[in-house]
Structure 1
Amino acid sequence: MNNQFSIGVFDSGFGGLTVFKSITEKLPQYDYIYLGDNARSPYGDHSFETVYQYTLECVEWLFEKGCPLVILACNTASAKALRNIQQLDLPKKYPNHRVLGVIRPTAEIIGNYTQTQQVGVMGTRGTVNSNSYPIEINHFFPEVKVHQQSCPMWVPIIENGEHENEGADYFVNKYLQELLQQSAEIDCILLACTHYPLLIPKIEQYLPKNIQLLAQGDIVANSLVDYLKRHPEMEGQLAKNSKRAFYTSGDVTTFDAHASVFLGQELNSSKM
């Protein structure tokens, strides 16, 4: 078996780089290809059909680039496209390829972080309207009640570089209070969008001290470690040269400038 393939990481834009960063810190030895579909982002307000079409096109592109394993580091794509890709496309066209998302790994462990059995989920409209988190969490922790809050202004604030400025405070506090008004018993909040970790310093200013905040990067990274241990047939195909390649469907210069904020280092991307 040739260990010459990369792990693909896909997001509609920049947010998946927070997951990419955690994965590469946890598993630095593998080769990775990151793809951001910036030309068509954000995905949050698109229909299920559109998100499925866009996501499938990008996944197939990563397959062609030599990625037998692709991580959808995007909550909206995981919510609206993953199931169809796994059940319809992979068995028919790509039986030896695998596509994993960010929702299930999070749902599998979130119940371990709540004492009151009441958790909050903050995400895009698309993720919230899909009800993917309540459905998945119920499979693993049926006793946990999930309260959801969509935060439509958070991604634009972050992608326009305003997340550290005072103007972001209004919308951070607004959505947080709207969530907490749903229940006084919430003791754990999941940031169900990979952009949102950039807002953690702001969120913590308005978050009651008794509430734990969860971001997804480390959760997904730990889940991938476990997956590769359980699937040596996949792990054995992967190259271990620590190579990183970044691609975008949008403007390369714009991508590089914004991506460095999410990744914490400079990078040079290529056009998809």
Structure 2
Amino acid sequence: MQTEKGPIGVFDSGYGGLTVLKEITALLPQYNYIYLGDNARTPYGSRSFETVYHYTLQCVEWFFKKGCSLVILACNTASAKALRTIQQKNLPIIAPNKRVLGVIRPSAELIGSFSKTKHIGIMGTQGTVNSQSYPLEIQKYFPDVRVWQQACPMWVPLIENSEHMNAGADYFVKKYTQQLLAQSAAIDTILLACTHYPLLYHKIEAALPSHIQVIMQGGIVANSLQNYLLRHPEIEEKCTKNGVQSFFTTDDSAIFEQQAGLFYGQPIQAWQIEIS
């Protein structure tokens, strides 16, 4: 029986997942990757669970049609609001031999080991914070860790409108970091639980006391994917290996190309598609 082979799919509601893809391709350059940003319907962070689930499932099905046997939801909101339902409800019916993974569990499995005080801060979208996914997942692996969360609703709009390097961004970085630290003075580790936030990394770090470390997800997710492929050869053998990356967006491809370079670190060529 011939086994269907295809690229590894990487999904985000917009551009943020490119920061994850950048780390994945640096660690695992041999595989083919296909990236989709649902820019026409971004942001996901303020949308309902049902809407995020519906949008994410549509995009996952698009990846499957493109031949992907493995899809990474490189979006914290989609991982928080849609992943489990897709894994438990949809995959057994529509694609029992395919897999969809997220970014929350890999981060939760490691984040507790970074902290000495056992007080960890999570900075994410309102949707990710409201889902309580991080406190619940971290508790499974580090029951002695206390988790404090802070929603940062202005950060994604600032980044996607190329305002993140301006003085206005400093105000909102300071505002949200202060609100987080006001919850616990013992926080010594902060996880950036949105794949857009690495573009604000230096501003965030500058706004914090020097003893607090800021953790980005890209490297964590890349290492987790590498381990997953080693543990699941039946999935790994379905992933094509020509070192090719393809980029798609549900919005204007020219605009996507202009912005994507900020996140991916190099110019890309994109194609616009429709999701229905």
Q: Shorter-chain TM-score: which interval?
A: over 0.9
Cα RMSD (Å) of the superposition? 0.8
CA spacing shift, 1:3–1:22, aligned 2, 3 Å:
farther
Aligned to 1:23: 24
- Contact kept, 8 Å, 1:12 with 1:42, in 2: the verdict is yes
Q: TM-score, normalised by structure 2?
A: 0.97
Q: Which amino acid is the alignment partner of residue 150 of structure 2?
A: Q
Q: Which amino acid is the alignment partner of residue 78 of structure 2?
A: A
Residues 20-41 of structure 1, C-alpha deviation per residue, up to 9 Å, x if partnerless? 1000101000000000000000
2:77 pairs with 1:79: no
Residues 222-250 of structure 1, C-alpha deviation per residue, up to 9 Å, x if partnerless? 00000000000111111110011000001
Q: Secondary structure at the match of 1:240?
A: coil
Aligned to 1:35: 36
CA spacing shift, 1:241–1:2, aligned 2, 3 Å:
farther
Aligned to 2:196: 195
Aligned to 1:127: 128
- Contact kept, 8 Å, 2:229 with 2:236, in 1: the verdict is yes
Unpaired segments of 5 or more residues in structure 2? none
Distance 1:189 1:4 in 2: 38
Q: Secondary structure at the match of 1:189?
A: strand
Runs of 4+ in 1 over 6 A off after TM superposition: none
Aligned to 2:236: 235
Residues 121-180 of structure 1, C-alpha deviation per residue, up to 9 Å, x if partnerless? 000000000000000000111111000000000000000111111111000000000000
- Contact kept, 8 Å, 1:105 with 1:220, in 2: the verdict is yes
Q: Secondary structure at the match of 1:148?
A: strand
Q: Secondary structure at the match of 1:245?
A: strand
Distance 2:16 2:28 in 1: 19
- Contact kept, 8 Å, 1:3 with 1:239, in 2: the verdict is no
Aligned to 1:52: 53
Number of aligned residue pairs: 272
- Contact kept, 8 Å, 1:3 with 1:236, in 2: the verdict is no
Q: Which amino acid is the alignment partner of residue 259 of structure 1?
A: A
Aligned to 2:118: 117
Aligned to 1:266: 267
Distance 1:261 1:158 in 2: 10
1:3 Cα deviation from its structure 2 partner: 7.3
Distance 1:271 1:162 in 2: 25
Q: Which amino acid is the alignment partner of residue 197 of structure 2?
A: Y
1:2 Cα deviation from its structure 2 partner: 4.7
Q: Which amino acid is the alignment partner of residue 208 of structure 1?
A: P
Q: TM-score, normalised by structure 1?
A: 0.99
- Contact kept, 8 Å, 2:33 with 2:244, in 1: the verdict is yes
Q: Which amino acid is the alignment partner of residue 220 of structure 2?
A: I
Distance 2:82 2:141 in 1: 21
